Amino acid sequence: MPTLDDYKGQSPAWCPGCGNFGILRAFKEAALELAIEPHQFTVVSGIGQAGKLPHYLRCNTFNGLHGRTLPVATGLRLANHDMLVVAVAGDGDCYGEGGNHLIHAMRRNINVKLLVHNNQIYGLTKGQPSPTSMEGMVAKNQPFGVFAEQLNPLAMAVALDCSFVARGFAGDIGSLKDLIKEAIRHKGFALIDILQPCITFNKINTFQWYKERMYPVDSAYDPFNRVEAFRKALEWGERIPIGIIYKNDRPILEERIPIIKEKALVRQPFDPSKIEATLKEFY
Q: DSSP secondary structure string, 255-278?
A: GG-HHHHSS-GGGS---HHHHHHH
> Mean pLDDT over residues 76-87, rounded?
94
Q: What does the pLDDT read at residue 170?
A: 94
Q: Report which of residues 47 and 22 the model is more confident about.
A: 22
Q: Is the pTM of this model over 0.75?
A: yes
Q: What does the pLDDT read at residue 128?
A: 76
Q: What does the pLDDT read at residue 223?
A: 97
Q: What does the pLDDT read at residue 145?
A: 75
In the structure, what pLDDT confidence band is assigned to residue 252 with cuts at 50, 70 and 90?
Answer: very high
Q: What is each CA distance from 198 to 12, 147, 189, 191, in whole angstroms?
A: 15, 21, 27, 21
What does residue 39 show for φ and ψ, rounded to 5 degrees?
Answer: -80, -5
Q: What are the pLDDT digits (tens) for 177-225? A: 999 999 999 999 999 999 999 888 878 888 899 999 999 999 899 999 9
CATH number of 4-280, picked from 3.50.50.60, 3.40.190.80, 3.40.50.970, 3.30.70.1290 = 3.40.50.970
In the structure, what pLDDT confidence band is assigned to residue 127 with cuts at 50, 70 and 90?
Answer: low
Instruction: Give the residue from 129, 65, 127, 71 showing the smallest Cα distance to 93.
Output: 65
Distance CA 217, CA 202 (A): 26
- pLDDT of 100 > 80? The answer is yes
